[in-house]
Every structure is written in C-alpha cells, then in structure tokens.
Chains A and B, each alone.
Chain A
Amino acid sequence: MTEVDPIRLEVIRNALVAASEEMNISIWRTARSTVVRETLDYSTAIFDGSGNAVAQSTRIPVHLNSMSVCLEEIVTNWIPLSEWNEGDVVLTNDPYAGGQHLPDFVAYKPIYRDGKRVAISATIVHHVDIGGGAPGSYFAGAQEVYQEGLRLPPIKLVDGGRMNASILAVIRRNSREPEKIGGDIAAQLAALDVGARAILRLVDRYGIAVVQAAMAAVLDQSEVAMRSAISAIPDGTYTFEDFVDDDGQEAIGIKIRASVTIEGDKALIDLSGSSPQVPGPVNCTVNMAKSGVYCALLMAAGGGVMANTGAYRPIEIIAQEGTVVSARSPAPVANRMATGHRIVTTVLGALAIANPEAIPAAYYGVSYVAALSAPDASGERRVYFEIEVGGWGGHPESDGANGFSAGFHNLANSPLEMCEALFPVVFTEYGLIPNSGGDGEYRGGLGLAREWRLEADWGVLSGNFDRFRFPPYGLNGGKPGAPGRFMLTRDGNTKQLPSKISGVQLKRGDKVRLDTSGGGGWGDPAQRDPEARLADQRAGYVS
C-alpha cells in the first residue's frame, strides 16, 4: 500500500473537505425550493471508492452520519458495487433501503479514472413534496409507508451517463411541487458532478494511489481520535431512558432506552428495551438510529473528531428489529426525527452518567416541522413549509443558548418577510418564550414562539412536533425545560392541537401558534449565581 506523508495527507484532507464544500455551494446556488435555499435542508459528502464516508460539508448531522449506512445497505442488498459504472448516479429515498423518510433523496455518483473507481460523491436533499397524504409529505395519519408518498428503491437515475427521463417524469407527476422537485433534483445531480471534478483534479495532481492512501489515512485519523475520546470516558455500562410523546395515533410515551458500555477505546450502544414500533409515523429505520448514535458520540467527543466512517469504527450498535429504533416495513416514518432526536438525547443522557461534568442537559430535541397548503394571491396552491428550533440544555459551564439549532439537525429559519411575500400568512409574533428554559445552576436556553394568521379562504395544516408531554430533561438537579405547544385560535377561541397532526382545515383569520421547548437546566438551581438571576430578570428571560 502506498504511504502518504503527513504533509500530503493534510493537503489532500483539506482538498476533500473543500470538495464537499464546493458541492454544498453548488446545491445552494442551483436549487429551486425554499426548503433547500432558505432552510438549507441538504448535505454533501465525499466517499472513498469502496464506500467509506471520508469528508463532509458543514451541514446537517442527521444527513451526514446516515449517508454511509445508506450506501452500505444499497451495495449489500440492492446494487452491488460491482454493478456500478462510470456515468451512473444511484438514487433512493426508500427508508427500507437505506433512506430515512421519503422527502430525503440520497444520490451517489461513482468517480472513475482509468476504469478504476477512486471515490464516490454523495448528496442528500430534502425535497419539498413527494406526494402522500399531506402537503410536504408529512402525513401524521399515515399507518403505512405507502401513504407517505412515492417510494424509490435504489435505482440508477442516471445510467452510464444517460438520464432516465421516465423516472424523473414519475417523480414530478407525484409531487405537489413538480417544478421545484425537478429543479432541486437537477441541483443535486449538478453537485455530484462538481464533487467528481474536484476529486479528479486531486487524482491528476497526486495520482490514484496517493489519493486513496490519503483517504485511508483520514479515516484512520478519525478512528484514532474517536478511540482516544472514548478512552477518556470511564469504563462501565450506563443506562438512560427518554421518551417520545406519542405517535399521533395510539401509542403514548414511546420509550427510547440506551445502554452505553464503554470498554477501553470501544463503545457499545445497545438500544434494546426501546418500545416496539408504533402505528404512527415516528418510527426510525436502523440507519436513522445509527446516525443518531454516531451524532451523539461525535458530540460527546467534543467536536474535535472529523466525522467519517473511521470515527464510527470503534462504535458498535445494537438495535432490535421491530422496535421504534429499527422498524420493519411498512411502518410509516415521515416524522422519524422525533425519535431520532430522542436517540441522541438518550445516548447523551447515558454518557452524562459516566461524565457528569462534561455533558449538558437535554436540548429541545425535535425538528418542529409545519406545513401549510393554501392558495396564494393569484389563486395558485402553495406549500409553506417551516422548520423551527428551541433552547439548548444548560451546560456544566454555561447557560444553554436561546432558540438555536442543536444536536441532530441544523437549519435556518425562513425570513418572515419572505414568507409573507410568498404565502398567504401574516405573522403576529416571533420571539423567545420567557421562563421556558429549565432552572439550574446553568439555565436551559429559551424556546421560541412563532405565530401567524391565515390570509386566504382556506388552508390545510400539518404539524410534526414532540416534547409536548415529556419535556427536555435537566441534569444534576437542574429542572426540565418547558414543553412545547401547538395552538389554533378561531373567532377568539383557542384550542390546543396535538403534537402530531395533519389535515387541519383552516379558515381565513385563523391564528396558528407554535411554542417550542426550552432546554433543560444543569445543576442545582440554588447554586445559580445571583448576578445571573438578576440579568435574567432584567432581560425578561425569566419573569
């Protein structure tokens, strides 16, 4: 095997990260939908020729840490690497074939030089609508994945350089937003090419053997770093439980249980004891659960480990099939993020037992996704889609951040003025919620309130939330954060809506309000610095 010197290694490592950033810019530049361009719900990565994730852009943890598991599933059970050829693009959105939920399309492009596969570029993009029982493909009433939209098993969307136009036509025909999904797929494909060009540039400069050796060394670096981070955690088995509110249908209090066993430089995360899979769409497939575990361990490692397949090597995961963390087909999965976030907070909770002075209390722990379908001023039907966040947990050294992306996802909000210009809504509030952060020596960050009024004759609303019943936990005596709420006000009467709902018929003038959770507090509230309490009062963070 070719050796790569430490200097060349660093040069190539930088270039691989830059390649994934180039892909990232490319998607941002060319995408069409708001969900991609304003909320930035997509990710990009570079894999080596045998399918190990090597370098990623700075985007969304849930995406980034799932792309390698997805690829593994594809090449093991669907299209073996031996059948991949130059000019192919392999794509899937099938949760039961490596995907997560139907709106997320994962696409891979093998990159060849002299007939040899040297790398694979990869993108994952959340598409605005892929059909199914509710706008945005978030159908809270789904009991089977078949009700959630169009499912594409791993296929060659591009085969030897030739686009399969028929599949593209099927996809467009099944979406409520055909123009946007078409545009966003084009953006996704363009980014794969950009990644390929960047890799080939490296190959031309350094040769295949050196680039491959460097990729292997980058993986080894991450493995070493992750092993050393795990070694710093005391040996032992630590068990923690946290809960998803419900599945929006029958199941209430869905348990996530994690037993984390640290043995030297290895970690075993056993999710056995988590609830059986549920009728409603909060199930995770196993690849999603793995992504959550990897994310939690990368966080516990302190952020210094470059996330890739090397970092995953010392981590073993047990997720029993038929449970909510490894659902069997055809369980619905659209709102799998509620459970995914909960896997992250549960694993972190277990690690906090091992290392109480290092791990913060729970963050809000859910992707607050709401979608509204309503006619715009010209009578054309529009899907307004928003993703919100809440407060961070109090940290052993500082208060949690207010209203800021945390943990498993990472998303920007949509500007209110842009939403008002494009959709028939008028915002009546967007702000922090006083007293929503859990009390503690270090307070949890505050949740957010986002409230709007419908300015159209009709609208259909869906919401996919959590943490309405089981608030983000506090640690070391800290109090939990405030739970979230979803409310509808009509003719002066306000009623609470459940955390997971779709098909809510709205009338002109209806007010819809989402309160997101604050973070849990860390440490005994009696130990809180009186100065900090005064400052909280002054700012009105606490009333």
Chain B
Amino acid sequence: MAVSSRPIRIAVDIGGTFTDIEVYDSRTGSTFAHKTPTTPDDPSRGLGIGLQEVANLCDFNLADIGLLLHGTTIATNAVLERKLPKGAMITTKGFEDVLEIGRHMRQELYSLKAEPRSLLIPRENRFGIVERIRYDGTVETPIEKAALAELAKKLAGKGVEAIAIAFLNSYANPIHEQEALEVLAKEIPTVAISASHEVSPEIREFERFSTTVLNALLKPVVSRYLEQVEGRLQAIGVSASLYLVQSNGGVARPVEAARLPAKLLLSGPAGGAMAMANLSELHGVSNLVGIDMGGTSADIAVVAEGSIGQTPEGNIDGLPVRLPMIEIRTIGAGGGSIARLQGKGLRVGPESAGANPGPVCYGRGGVEPAVTDANVALARIDAPSFLGGAMQLNASDALHAINERVATPLGLPSEAAAAGILEVADARMADAIRLSLFEKGADPSDFVLAPFGGAGGLHATALADALNIGCIIFPSNASTLSARGILGADLRHDLARSRRLKANNGGEADALTALAEMASDLRKEAEDALVRDGVSEADRLYEFSADMRYLGQAYELGVHWGNIQITEQTVRDLVEKFHAEHLRRFAHADERDTVEVATLRLAAIGKMPRPQISGLHGAAPDRPAIRGSRRVWFENAWINAPVYSREHLEIGSRITGPCIVEEAFTTLVIGNGWKAQMKAGGDLVAVKGEVND
C-alpha cells in the first residue's frame, strides 16, 4: 500500500437518512464518530459537509486526510428505484429471452396474480447474434461480426447508454465476447459496455446474464457519482486516496468500482458485517452473529470460526448477482414493523410503517401500531429523550393505537398486548437467525450475539433468550458501527475461472495441469490488479478456494485452499478438504465418489495499515453513570428499573438486568437474568446467569 504521510483516515457510510463518519487519527490512535444528514439529491454534498464538520470538531486540516474509505448505497438505490440508464443486451441468437424467463419459480404459491418479476432490459432491446461456444470452450459457430457492427449502429441511433454482452458458455471461452467488445468499442465508443466474462465468468447463464446487465446499467450511474465525489473532494481541499466499499467486504479504487459497479450492490450492509468481524477478533470470540435492526428491516451477518460468511451469489430486488459477497439475511422486522390481527393471531411485519409516516408515536399520521410504539408504550424507549431529545415521541398515541387495534380486540391488558408485539417480532428474528446458522450447519447456542443499528439493543436479550445464546456484545457506537467496520477494510479483488475438472479417480493428472494453468492466470491477473492499486509486495495476500461437488451434483461447495502452490499433494489435499467440508455441512461424504472442481477462485487482498485504536472511552468522572430510574415493563410487571447512561459507564463497571442503558442514538434493554460489564474499548458485554467474577 502506498502509505500516505497524511495521518487522518476517514470511513464514510452514506445511508438513506444519515451519513456516518468515523475518523481515525493514526498519530494518537483515537477515533471519533459523527453523524450528519444525508443529502439524497447529491450525496456527495452531505459527504463534503460532514468532512468539514469532523475536521472542525477534531481539529485537523482536510489536507491531512490520507485515506477515505466510502460505503455507498448509490448502486443499490439506483436499482431499487430504477434510476438506471436505457440499456440493451446482446446475446446468443435464440436466447434473447433467458433474461426474462429467469429460473421461473414463484414465491407466492396460491396467488391468482403472478408476483412482479424484475426485468431491467425490455425485450425490444435484447438482440441475438449468430455465434456459439460449446460447454468445453470450443467454437461451434463463429461470431457474425458484420451483423454486430450493424447492430452497434442501430443501438447508437436508439440512444442506448449501456450495453451488456453475454453469450452462452462464455465462461468457458470468452473469445466471442472479446470480439464483440472490440467491435462495439470501435463503433460506439461512448457507450458503457460490460461483457459477462469480465463481470462473472461462471457457469449458469441466467445468473451471469443478470449480473452483467446490472453491471452495464450501473456503469454510467456509478461513474457519474464518482466524478461528483472526486470533484467535491477536490473543491474542499481533500486529496486523499479514495476507496469504495464492495459487497465482498473489501475496498476498491474508484476506477475499479466504475468498471465493476455490480460489486457495490451490497456495499451498505457490508460495513456492519465487517464491524462484526472486527468485534469477533477484538473479543476473541470466533462465533458471532450480528443483527442490524433498523426501521424497516433486520440484517443478519454471521462470523463463524473467525471468518465472516461469504456467499458466491446474492440478489437485489429478485435479480441474482453472481459475485462473491458477504452473506447477509434480511428480514422485514424493524422498529417500523406493523402489528395487525389476523383471526385470533397477532402478526407483526413484514409490512412496515417505514420512516414516513412511521410508527404512531412519531406523530406523522401513522395509525397502525408498530414495534417502536410497543417499546415506547412499555417505556423501554423513553419518549421525551428519543435520539437525545432531538425527536419528540408521543407515548399516549402509541398506547392508544395498541389498545384500539390489538389489546381491546384480543381482550388483553394494553401492556400484555404491547409486550406481545415485541415477543412476536423477536420470535421472527430468532427464527431468521436460526435459519441463517442452520444453513451453515451451526447451532445458535455456540454463538455470541452482537446487536446494532437503531433498534438492535432493544431486542437483544430477548433474542438471545429465544435462541439459547448466553453472551451478548453491545458494541460501542452501535448506530455508526458500519463506518467503524469500514475503517479497517483491505483492498480486495475476487477473481474466478470456471472449468469442470475431475480431481480424483483418474482425473488427477489433467486436473493438476489445468489447475496450475488457471492458478497461474489468476495469480498474474491478481498481481497486476494489486500492482495497479499500488500495493507493495509485502502487503499482498492471496487466498485460493475452489467450488467443488461430487460428479452429478448440481450445486457446488466452496472449499478454502489457501495461498498454495498447485502440486500433486495440494490437489490431493483439496479433495480431502472437500470430503471433510461436505461431511460437516451436508452430513454425508463418500471418499470413493468422483469429485469435480467447477470453479477456481482467487481472493487477492491488499493489506491496508491496521488502525491501532487506543481505548478512549473513559468515563467522565464528574457525572454519575446512573441517570436515575423509571417505570419500565419487564416480562409481566412494571418495575422501577435503573437507567444508565452508556457514555458515563466506567470501564469495568457492572450492571444487572433488568435495567436500561441509554445512548445517544439508541437504547439497550438488559433483561432479567443478564449481567453486563463495560469492557476497555467501550463494548458492553452481557452474560446470562452466573457471572464471571
């Protein structure tokens, strides 16, 4: 890494409402968290304002910023809101509708009207070209270049701004896509073009096509945004190196982000997941599940055996994105989740009141009680001091709505109804966490829970109780945690080659040759990328992995291989690892079966200097930690619960549930039977039952 002599590192996470900024000063090891409103019309404006604010608050010069790491939802929002340029797709003739047909399975079984399906390029803008590559990469029909040139002219006339090129079996041989790229670049040089072999060179056409289309359409969007950001930074005198947070938890230079913007699609929640990985390392807990609960949804990220869960594929708005990314399960459960009666049952979510009108207590016209209303009605959230008093909540309206729509129809006291809303919401989240872990063959009781986001701390002990989890880490600065996670990010390139190879039972020799060739290609490509990034040799890290399966299986299992040389021995090791992993995840393995490698992957990481953060959360001794007490509903009764101010809890101090801990942007509820202690570094660690004295 070209280490900058400029001492300030900044992480910025721009969300829908707030822009979170985390400042790290490498001279002192100190950090500072800041929130400033997001400016949705041009998010770079809010970013500029926020940077000036932190520079004033922390007393540094903008020119002192050496690194600026940026998590952005620009790509995500462009897709969700369909603010995308006019695009076209060029594909193998006869397969123009692959993008529209998709995998043709529905989610709603008994609906008489088909659920909406996302389609980003309409049929009239999808064009077939005569060409064909076989599954083994050999050319069956050469590409018709003349037709391609003609098509290019036609597309220019149609005002198309982005083109996706995606041919069948191009993962096995990209030659036709490369030829098409050449022709188009010559004919219409100003149009953004993406070819599938560059974006996601993996088997399964629909998933690859979908990813390529997203990438093509996002190119103009992200390029424009990056120009704005760079312009803004220049204007205010920031000359830092800018990096963008990708869905894989690593960062990339702007030029890379502009080339592969689909890698930014799940950048938002990645920061939180990275913070979970940091937390797991910091506390020496190898199994940790993070739940980021906000207004409309909860994101679940899992750190298992010390590493953050990655998945080779995700999706956005029903569109598959075949790119390695941090695995996050999202469910419709948040502070805004609405409680409704259905028959004799009480349903909570997935419908959400969102931020507007929001829960009833916001006083913006919401009439249906939401989870936040239940928290307010039970005084778990203190209505007068919500968001540090910045927003007034109306507790009596919340209570009224709960009474009218839940308590009275069910014949329950209002407290029981409100507590019921919370219990149902917690149960849904607990079920989702259990499924997330189950998919990995893991058991919740082996995990530590880390709640964050605006609402996570309110529900954590109840969730842990439901999941039989015995330890909770309430991270410091829970509401700006994503930015903190981004602060420690490394550069990362995920590269892949798909080819089916038999790795045992007689296929060893061929596999060895092919893998060695693929690995050397990948390593060269990776090295070039890291050199372009300016990463010094000592800071380059390579991790091979392989997607493998038993012959005839339809899906592959990712097997971690490490930074290996390809030899007879390491290939044998890989097969062994596959059997072992298959047994662990799927409960069976057969060592006699033929094992196939489908995809070889290389993660190329450029290490950034690690922030050396000093413990800085000492309490201000002149202010007592305990703020007082208030009547709060716990389990089945109103009790006079102690209320602590988190910022005044001294390191080492212990508190016992039931109690409340208030922070600037959120509230923690410590349930019955839980004891918590403030750790150096500011995290509050709660343990169920007997406490380690």
Contacts and interface: CB of A to CB of B under 8 A. Distances in A.
A188 B207 CA distance: 28
Contacts of A426: 132, 134, 140
Given A186-B588, A539-B124, A217 B344 contact: yes
B109 interface: yes
Interface string B314-349: 000000000000000000000000000111111110
B104 A413 contact: yes
Contacts of A358: 112
Contacts of B342: 221, 225
Given A404-B104, A416-B168, A431-B94, A10 B552 contact: no
A15 B112 contact: no
Contacts of A329: none
A21 B412 CA distance: 31
Given A6-B420, A15-B427, A420-B135, A21 B435 contact: yes
Nearest to A214: B345
B114 A401 contact: yes
B117 A37 contact: no
B203 interface: yes
A417 B345 contact: no
A6 B96 contact: no
Given A359-B112, A401-B114, A33 B431 contact: no
A26 B96 CA distance: 35
B424 interface: yes
A520 to B, nearest CB: 13
A221 B110 contact: no
A244 B553 CA distance: 35
A405 B106 contact: yes
A400 interface: yes
Contacts of B587: 30, 190
A46 interface: no
Contacts of B544: none
Nearest to B409: A6
Interface in A207-225: 217, 220-221, 224-225
Contact of A429 (B94, B100, B106): B94
Contacts of B135: 417, 420-421
Contacts, number: 210
A389 interface: yes
B96 A415 contact: no
Nearest to B422: A7
B562 interface: no
Given A13-B345, A417-B204, A428-B94, A397 B588 contact: no
B2 interface: no
Contacts of B424: 7, 10-11, 14
Interface string B164-201: 00001101000000000000000000000000000000
A277 to B, nearest CB: 29
A15 B431 contact: yes
A447 B420 CA distance: 48
Contacts of B586: 29-30
B250 to A, nearest CB: 28
Contacts of B124: 538-540
B112 A307 contact: no
Interface string A177-195: 0011001001000100010
Nearest to B98: A430
Contacts of A347: none
Contacts of A428: 94
Which interface class (under 10, 10 to 19, 20 to 34, 35 or more) fits A?
A: 35 or more
B169 A307 contact: no
Contacts of A359: 112
B554 A430 contact: no
Interface in A410-456: 410-413, 415-418, 420-422, 426-432, 445, 448, 451
Contact of A420 (B109, B134, B588): B134
A385 to B, nearest CB: 12
B638 interface: no
B550 to A, nearest CB: 7
Contacts of B122: 538-539
A10 B123 contact: no
A238 interface: no
A61 B106 CA distance: 11
Contact of B438 (A10, A25, A37, A186): A25
B109 A9 contact: no
Contact of B110 (A22, A61, A429, A538): A61
A413 B101 contact: yes
A299 interface: yes
B105 interface: yes
Interface in A1-53: 5-7, 9-11, 13-15, 18, 21-22, 25-26, 29-30, 32-34, 37-38, 40
A539 B123 contact: yes
B322 to A, nearest CB: 11
Contacts of A421: 135, 203, 500
A432 B435 contact: no
B95 interface: yes
B96 to A, nearest CB: 6
Contact of B101 (A220, A422, A430): A430
A481 to B, nearest CB: 15
B428 interface: yes
B171 A37 contact: no
Contact of A402 (B100, B110, B111, B140): B100
A66 to B, nearest CB: 14
A110 interface: no
A360 to B, nearest CB: 6
A45 to B, nearest CB: 13
A22 B105 contact: no
A422 B105 CA distance: 22
A97 interface: no
Given A61-B110, A426-B140, A430-B94, A6 B344 contact: yes
Contacts of A406: 106, 114
Contact of A305 (B110, B416, B420): B110
A298 B110 CA distance: 6
Contacts of B112: 299-300, 302-303, 358-360, 395
A22 B439 CA distance: 8
Contacts of A445: 114
A89 B587 CA distance: 19
Interface in B105-131: 105-114, 117, 122-124
A58 B423 CA distance: 24
Most chain A CB neighbours (cut-off 10 Å) among B98, B106, B122? B106
B585 A29 contact: yes
Given A6-B345, A180-B552, A431 B97 contact: yes
Interface in B422-453: 423-424, 427-428, 431, 434-435, 438-439
B110 A40 contact: no
B588 A30 contact: yes
A84 interface: no
A25 B434 CA distance: 12
B554 to A, nearest CB: 4
A225 B343 contact: yes
11 contacts: A6-B341, A14-B427, A34-B554, A220-B344, A224-B344, A299-B112, A400-B114, A402-B100, A405-B105, A427-B95, A448-B97
- 10 smallest CB-CB distances across A and B, nearest first, come from A7-B420, A401-B114, A37-B554, A431-B97, A539-B123, A18-B431, A429-B94, A420-B135, A303-B111, A11-B427
Interface of A: 5-7, 9-11, 13-15, 18, 21-22, 25-26, 29-30, 32-34, 37-38, 40, 58-59, 61, 64, 179-180, 183, 186, 190, 194, 217, 220-221, 224-225, 295, 298-303, 305, 307, 358-360, 389, 392, 395, 397-398, 400-406, 410-413, 415-418, 420-422, 426-432, 445, 448, 451, 538-541
Given A402-B101, A431-B97, 18 more contacts: A6-B412, A7-B424, A11-B424, A14-B427, A18-B434, A22-B435, A30-B587, A33-B552, A179-B593, A303-B110, A392-B114, A415-B203, A418-B554, A421-B135, A426-B134, A427-B94, A427-B95, A431-B98
